[in-house]
Structure 1
Amino acid sequence: MNGNKPILVVHPQVGAVGGSEFSLAVLLELLTNDLNLKTVLLTHEMFPVSEFNRVWRTNINYENLEVISLKFPRKFASTFSYLKCARLSSYVKKNLSKFSLVISAYNPLVDIEKTISFIRDVTFVQYESSKARQFVYKLINLFFGLKGEISENNIMVSNSEFSRRVIKEHFGIESCVIYPPVYVVSDPEKIPWYERENGFVYIGRISREKRVLEIIDVVKALRERGYDLHLHIVGTGNDRKYLESVKLSCSQPWCKMEGAKYGSDKEEIILSHKFGINLCYNETFGISVAEQVTLGEVVFVADSGGQVEIVEDEFLRVKDKEDLLSKFEILINNEGKMQEVRKKLKDRVQRFHKDFFKEEVKKLLERF
């Protein structure tokens, strides 16, 4: 890296409470504080980056940080991801000589070489075969003077082995894996296991692909088998029809919709319960699952995607409803097995700590 030039970090949209924002905050802490490097952040700033240290308890050195905020029309703020990518890529391409290194903190830029690109979401590959989408992409590229190519000369950093395989399959590009850091404040031992409630917690978006109705059905089936369990659903959704279906199915006393919860409010729900559940197929990583495991919950997940790497234990990876019911019954009735599973989960959480993330990123920076 050229020490006379700042590092450019690119993130398409800074909100307040997302997992990618915490990863960004930790990255900025590493660059500006730990390494004392001049850094420029290029983003659409919907939440002030100046508040990161307060919100995320990081130590960003703001004297070393400049924020360039490119404004997008409000209706484009949470949609049209490729339009934002193209605009950011165009800016970087025109100003590339001003920076010693470019780091894309949320998915790759296009037409930019020799960058570090963190893969945070691989759902965009589902649109690669859409002719209509490709036509729109071409128009956007034409407007910004881009080819729309992802360079093989970049260092690609996937957030799971699952993401790594997807990127390799669709783009033919190899990537390394660094798990994103998980933000938790509470001590996982704050509430002992034997004092926690025999209940499940789901945390995430309430949408069809998250299979929330199936989660309710699983807990209902376990109750019908005689287990005194309950369910907390933490999150919100934009699909009103599906949301109403979930509310209707969750109208029993043992099922409670909590709405959106953040910080200590969310952590208190996790800490007070023994079990977590996430049945979404092919999660890119599963930051909520990692939070729940870090805070001591035993989490059952669908046997696909990056979330299986979080729990790792095949006993917590379920193929279908009957598989989950069977495994839960074995676990709840076998104290030795329960202790074994909990120990394995406890041993895994270190790799989701921000210090582990920073050490891995430093190894990448040494290559420049």
Structure 2
Amino acid sequence: MAQVAVVHNTLDFQGGADAVCLATCEALSSDHEVTLFTLSETDLAVLADRFDADVDGIAVRTPPANGSIAKTLGRLAPWIGPQLAVRSVLVARYFRQHADAFDLAVSTANEFSFPGPSVQYVHYPQFHLYDLEDGDPGRLNPLWSRIAAPDRPDLQRATLLANSAWTAEVVAELYGVRPAVVAPPVDPIEEGLDWDDRQQGIVVVGRIAPDKRVLDAISLIDRLRDRGHDVHLHVVGSTPRSYRQYADRVAAAVDQRSYVDLERDVSRDRLETLLRTHRYGLNLKPDEHFGMSVAEYVSAGMIAFAPDGGGQRDILDGRPDRLFDSLAAAVDRIDTAITTDDRPSLRRDRFTRDQFKAAISTYVNQTLE
């Protein structure tokens, strides 16, 4: 049994990266002593309930003044821009003070320079984003990169993983090291209604944040109704402090429409109920690094639609009738699916939690050996 530190920059955004973190903690805790290092307002137990994860017995360590720092970063997000990198800098510095007590570090939130052996799971690089054509660095990313970014030898020594083939190519472009691909955990959602019994509605799941383009989803439902389709929309997601201003704009738009519902911070049971009972799932973020919500739509027996780029292309098998390159094209794809009464056909069990946990355990044990 080894002492394993799981390093995760924040649980506050409550998205796919956090599902990976919890599943990793769950996978490793049966064979090792696991301690989670993070900078978060969000309580681990609260998030575990949302992602249906068993993380009892996982110790959580946070930097001094954790709550105040997390709240301040959340409030400053509209002015300082993307903040995963700065949270990583702070968490990594805190972890280094305790690194000697651990046999292995496991990052579940992108690349780090660790003092010892490590397994690092990259959702998308967090440093040197100004070198990437599609990166969103923010003004301060060059500073965080100078302070804490790993170099190529750091990552050559690490066991490097990525959430999709697309992300692996981005990492290889940036660092010259190509990770192995381990898809995030997405179990099939069982007991869904038969297709004819499902509501002719669209569900959008994810952070209520600008990069998710939730306001575009509201525009999309307006256009579909203008074409004569009696469809409605459920927007379901978390509202991290960083995105409260945008979430207020979304709420204002929802209040003007009887056919759009906004549900924040719902339980896992409520989320799965929506996915079991509706026909269509929609993602609007271009170049999604993997697309947890897209995979969940498929796993629930829905027809999923997503932008034609990023890891979500793999989830949807590159199908042109499910992928789009503009909002107008998204409207056309869904219009066609409704008009022709198209049915789902993709496998629902491609990215199970058991597969993810087995892969993570294998890479961790190989690295420890």
Aligned residue in 2 for 1:37 = 32
Amino acid at match of 2:70: A
Residues 243, 58 of structure 1: alpha-carbon distance in 2 compared, 3 angstrom cutoff: closer
Aligned match for 2:140, one of 133, 137, 149: 133
Matched, 1:117 2:120: yes
Matched, 1:84 2:91: no
Question: Root-mean-square deviation (CA), in Å?
Answer: 3.3
Aligned match for 2:67, one of 71, 74, 89: 74
Amino acid at match of 1:40: T
Aligned residue in 2 for 1:284 = 289
SS at match of 1:343: coil
- Work out which structure has the larger RCO, using CA pairs closer than 8 Å and 6 or more positions apart in sequence: 2
How many aligned residue pairs are there? 347
Amino acid at match of 2:21: L
SS at match of 1:351: coil
CA shift, 1:196, in A, is 0.8
Q: CA separation in 2, counterparts of 1:299 and 1:183?
A: 16
Alignment of 1:208-287 (within 5 A): 208-235=210-237, 237=239, 238=243, 240=245, 243-244=248-249, 247-248=252-253, 251-287=256-292
SS at match of 1:352: coil
Aligned residue in 2 for 1:354 = 353
Provide structure 1 residue ranges, at least 5 long, that are not aligned to the other structure. none
CA shift, 1:166, in A, is 1.8
Alignment of 1:136-147 (within 5 A): 136-137=143-144, 141=147
SS at match of 1:205: coil
Q: Is the 8 Å Cα contact of residues 213 and 246 (structure 1) preserved in structure 2? A: no
What CA deviation, in whole Å up to 9, does each residue of 1:110-132 have, x standing for no partner?
A: 25453110113446554568795
What CA deviation, in whole Å up to 9, does each residue of 1:231-286 have, x standing for no partner?
A: 12223653536743663376232223333423112222222210111111111222
Q: Is the 8 Å Cα contact of residues 50 and 267 (structure 2) preserved in structure 1? A: no
TM-score normalised to the size of structure 1? 0.80
Q: CA separation in 2, counterparts of 1:208 and 1:131?
A: 14
Q: Is the 8 Å Cα contact of residues 238 and 265 (structure 2) preserved in structure 1? A: yes
Q: Is the 8 Å Cα contact of residues 206 and 243 (structure 1) preserved in structure 2? A: no
Provide structure 2 residue ranges, at least 5 long, that are not aligned to the other structure. 74-82
SS at match of 1:39: strand
Q: CA separation in 2, counterparts of 1:207 and 1:45?
A: 18
Aligned residue in 2 for 1:365 = 364
SS at match of 1:256: strand
Aligned residue in 2 for 1:172 = 176
Q: CA separation in 1, counterparts of 2:149 and 2:330?
A: 47
TM-score normalised to the size of structure 2? 0.80
Q: CA separation in 2, counterparts of 1:299 and 1:319?
A: 15
Q: CA separation in 2, counterparts of 1:228 and 1:68?
A: 50
Aligned residue in 1 for 2:332 = 326
Amino acid at match of 1:327: R
Aligned residue in 1 for 2:77 = none
Decide which structure has the larger Cα Rg and report it.
Answer: 1
Q: CA separation in 2, counterparts of 1:211 and 1:263?
A: 23
Residues 197, 48 of structure 1: alpha-carbon distance in 2 compared, 3 angstrom cutoff: closer
The percent identity for this pair of structures is 22
Q: CA separation in 1, counterparts of 2:64 and 2:150?
A: 21
CA shift, 1:51, in A, is 6.8
Aligned match for 1:311, one of 308, 312, 316: 316
CA shift, 1:50, in A, is 6.2
Amino acid at match of 2:200: N
